[in-house]
Amino acid sequence: MFVFLDVFTGTSDPYVKFKIAGKEVFRSKTIHKNLNPVWDEKVSLLVESLREPLYVKVFDYDFGLQDDFMGSAYLYLETLDVTLDLKDPHYPNHDLGSLELAVTLIPKEGDFREHQSLRLSDVHRKAQLWRGIVSISLIEAHDLQPMDANGLSDPYVKFRMGHQKYKSKTIPKTLNPQWREQFDFHLYDEQGGFIDITIWDKDAGKKDDFMGRCQVDLSLLSKECTHRLDLPLEEVEGSLVLLVTLTASAAVSISDLSVNILDDLHERKEILHRYSLLRSFHNIKDVGMVQVKVIRAEGLMAADVTGKSDPFCVVELSNDRLQTHTVYKNLNPEWNKVFTFNAKDIHSVLEVTVYDEDRDRSADFLGKVAIPLLNIQNGERKAYALKSKELTGPTKGVIFLEIDVIYNIVKAGLRTLIPIEQKYIEEEPRVSKQLLLQNFNRVRRCIMFLINAGCYINSCFEWESPQRSICAFLLFVVVVWNFELYMFPLVLLMLLAWNYFLIASGKDTRQGDVVTVEDLLEDEEEDFDRDDKDSERKGFMNKLYAIQDVCISVQNALDEVASYGERIKNTLNWTVPFLSWLAIVALCAATLVVYFIPLRYIVLAWGVNKFTKKLRDPYSIDNNELLDFLSRVPSDIQVVCIPYNIHPYCWLPQDCNS
């Protein structure tokens, strides 16, 4: 398909949309800064009726803004006019240029749908394979435009290259932000491409403000070296500093089952040599490779009214995403495809998702499996039970996979100490009652573990079990008296070794945690489903009441944490002078004690006091002096409600009244 635009004025970034019966069936790539673009793209479309015209619309791409309409036309398949004059329906007399198409009609004979799918599959698979990596280090910006009333801004940056998107963190209240973040894009075009960059000001509760944009033309940058770019923003003040590196790679590929590089002994030997220990410091980013054989699936869910499905499989590893062809009208499809990925992080999770193709709408989800790379047994053909989209429960069907992971252990270890690769920008998170309950229960489990541990230690101080308390007291004295700093990592090392010994001896305690979490998720799903059924009857207000207990618990926890933080601050800023003077006396005494007495003796004295307190006074009430002190200091809310208008030099209230 060749398209020419003649009459547009100014500079544009045009692309073309094709629609049949109101549904978008194809979108061309964007040609940047060109009024006479040449796409040289081909596409095969299934047309049910020649009476339905092909609607063609041309747009000017504007990253971060709404794309500008540049004209439209109808291609009537009965006449096949290959030169289309673009018009605006609101201004039919305006000449907006023309499109020239090369169109071929093929009669629908035999199983044309399958033939068309295979041809499209070849096009799509070619588009999935990337030729290299573009690494961008977002360093800083200078002299940005102030957007807030205080003369500052809260800037963040959005990157876009084709369908790939990233968003940086927000730096509050500055016009010269420093991000120091790194992002990786996949390079699909060997000749380069454009990266669109926009800067935005974060505004809570309303639409973010646009602060400027710039663009990087990758075709002007040489490969295998790092470029420092100081990019001025278009039409506004300010500049952006980036480090850009282009690295060639043959990282991903798709082939038939008969073409398998790991089955070739020579190829396998070369790959093993590439990731051997002797090459541990050669190309640190090349950690390893993953080969996935997608064999077949069995017993899939029927998604169509005919009792069949049109399944295809999507394989994802971090930001790499490849897919098989579609097998039509089949619940037991065979794909027999081999996918090869570059493993940049051995801690990544391989996700394999099965969808049902729907020509008139988005694909239906059929099932999913998630497999950590470190859990894979090389060369083992295994049946994986498909799970729900959230991976919390099973769904119908199994998928047969054979996976090989080859990596360099030194590179993998070094990569672990580098920030994890960010995924492309996904959908904005939504408020979910189920997720809120789940996270609340997870936090509660962690807090209950700490509380139980504290209760166990306190029981030693309370002498609930004399034998246990005597052992704990002797252990405490020995450890404190002989403690050295190297013993702290040694204790963690011993803990890891002990747990490894338990697992090796068949006493794996992890399974209990897994069962607990699974029960928790099942209970939450049952509650969620039951609440959904109830909410259909009870209405919106009862949905709010259903999460009231969780909200109250979270509210109280946040209030307690905030109150203690404010009380520490108010102690230091003399909100209650009596307490601040008392803190000065206590801190002076503590300074002298720590200065003249070794810390070992102080800890020993504290422990002996805690262990013998119950023996000396069986009816004593246990307390924490520091928390008792802070409970007397008002929080900011209390300061507003109860005025503490006392001068710092007043020791007692009556001194201020005189």
What does the pLDDT average to over 135-162? 89
Q: Which helix (H) or strand (E) holds 350?
A: strand 349-356
Indicate if the pLDDT at residue 120 is higher than 50. no
Three-state SS annotation for 112-149? HHHHHHHHHHHHHHHHHCCCEEEEEEEEEEECCCCCCC
Convert the pLDDT of each residue in 17-29 to its tens digit: 888 766 667 778 7
Domains and CATH numbers, the chain: 14-106 (2.60.40.150), 132-247 (2.60.40.150), 253-416 (2.60.40.150)
Convert the pLDDT of each residue in 530-566 to its tens digit: 544 454 444 555 555 556 666 777 788 888 888 888 8
Convert the pLDDT of each residue in 29-45 to its tens digit: 788 778 888 877 777 77
Going by pLDDT thresholds of 50, 70 and 90, the confidence category of residue 643 is: low
Convert the pLDDT of each residue in 578-608 to its tens digit: 888 899 999 999 999 999 999 889 999 989 9
Residue 536: per-residue pLDDT:
47
Question: How much of the chain is helix, strand and coil, in % rounded to 5?
Answer: 35, 25, 40
Going by pLDDT thresholds of 50, 70 and 90, the confidence category of residue 513 is: low
Q: Residues of 62-73 as b/e, b for ≥16 C-beta within 10 angstroms?
A: ebeeeeeebbbb
Convert the pLDDT of each residue in 345-390 to its tens digit: 888 899 999 998 876 566 789 999 999 998 899 988 999 999 988 8
Closest CA relative to residue 355, chosen from 305, 400, 392, 300: 300
End-to-end CA distance of the chain: 94
Closest CA relative to residue 42, chosen from 67, 77, 18: 18
Indicate if the pLDDT at residue 624 is higher than 90. no
Distance CA 14, CA 11 (A): 9
Residue 656: per-residue pLDDT:
43
Distance CA 318, CA 186 (A): 12
SS3 494: helix
Comparing 619 with 460, which gets the higher pLDDT?
460
Answer whether 382's CB lies under 8 Å from 400's CB.
yes
What does the pLDDT average to over 323-351? 88
Per the prediction, the chain carries an average pLDDT of: 79
pTM of the complete model: 0.57
Answer whether 411's CB lies under 8 Å from 288's CB.
yes
Tell me the HSE value of 382 on the side-chain side, using a 13 A CA sphere: 14
Indicate if the pLDDT at residue 494 is higher than 70. yes
- Residues whose CB falls within 8 Å of the CB of residue 322, separated by 6 or more in sequence, listed in order: 125, 128, 252, 254, 314, 315, 316, 339, 341
Tokens of 86: 């673009």
Task: Please tell me which of 58-62, 133-137, 240-244 the model is most confident about, judged by mean pLDDT.
Answer: 240-244
Q: In what order do the strands lie in the sheet with 164-167?
A: 164-167, 155-161, 194-201, 209-217
Going by pLDDT thresholds of 50, 70 and 90, the confidence category of residue 577 is: confident
Distance CA 202, CA 154 (A): 5
Q: Following DSSP, what letter does each residue of 397-436 receive, concatenated?
A: EEEEEEEEEEE-HHHHHHHHTSPPPPPPP-PPP---HHHH
Task: Please tell me which of 120-124, 254-258, 417-421, 645-649 the model is most confident about, judged by mean pLDDT.
Answer: 417-421
What does the pLDDT average to over 36-65? 76
Number of other CB atoms surrounding residue 35 within 10 Å: 16
Residue 519: per-residue pLDDT:
59
| 575 DSSP 8-state letter | S
What does the pLDDT average to over 102-107? 71
Residue 398: per-residue pLDDT:
94
Convert the pLDDT of each residue in 399-458 to its tens digit: 999 999 999 999 998 888 887 776 654 555 566 667 777 777 778 888 888 888 888 888
Convert the pLDDT of each residue in 174-228 to its tens digit: 999 999 888 878 777 666 688 999 999 998 878 888 999 999 988 888 876 778 8
Going by pLDDT thresholds of 50, 70 and 90, the confidence category of residue 574 is: confident
Indicate if the pLDDT at residue 506 is higher than 60. yes
Residue 149: per-residue pLDDT:
85
Answer whether 166's CB lies under 8 Å from 190's CB.
no
Residue 403: per-residue pLDDT:
93
Residue 60: per-residue pLDDT:
83
Of 165-174, 306-315, 316-325, 543-552, which range is least confident? 543-552
Going by pLDDT thresholds of 50, 70 and 90, the confidence category of residue 295 is: very high
Convert the pLDDT of each residue in 271-289 to its tens digit: 899 899 998 888 888 899 9
Residue 42: per-residue pLDDT:
75
**Whole-Å CA distances, 394 to 301, 397, 512, 518:** 12, 9, 20, 12
Distance CA 67, CA 60 (A): 6
Report helix angle 433-462 to 466-482, nearest 10. 90
Going by pLDDT thresholds of 50, 70 and 90, the confidence category of residue 129 is: low
The position carrying tokens 């070849």 is: 122
Distance CA 67, CA 199 (A): 18
Going by pLDDT thresholds of 50, 70 and 90, the confidence category of residue 242 is: very high
Tokens of 51: 């009476």
